Amino acid sequence: MYLKNISKWTMVTGTLLIWIVKLVIRPFVHIPSVVKPLVGFAPNLIGSFLLPFGACFFFQRFFRLQTPIHLTFTCSFGLLLVIINEYLQLIPVFGRTFDYLDIFSSVVGVFCGHLAFARLMASQISRIQV
Strands (E), 18-84: none
Eight-state DSSP code of residue 29? S
Spans of all domains in the chain: 2-129
Nearest 5°: the CA angle 84, 87, 91 is 125
pLDDT at residue 128 greater than cutoff 80: no
Asked whether the whole model's pTM tops 0.85, one would answer yes
What is the Cα–Cα distance from 22 to 14, expressed in whole angstroms? 12
pLDDT tens digits along 80-119: 999 999 999 998 887 888 889 999 999 999 999 999 999 9
pLDDT at 129: 67
Strands (E), 69-114: none
Which residues make Cβ contacts (< 8 Å) with residue 48, sequence separation at least 6?
78, 79, 82, 105, 106, 107, 108, 109, 110, 113
pLDDT tens digits along 11-54: 999 999 999 999 999 999 999 999 888 898 999 999 999 999 99
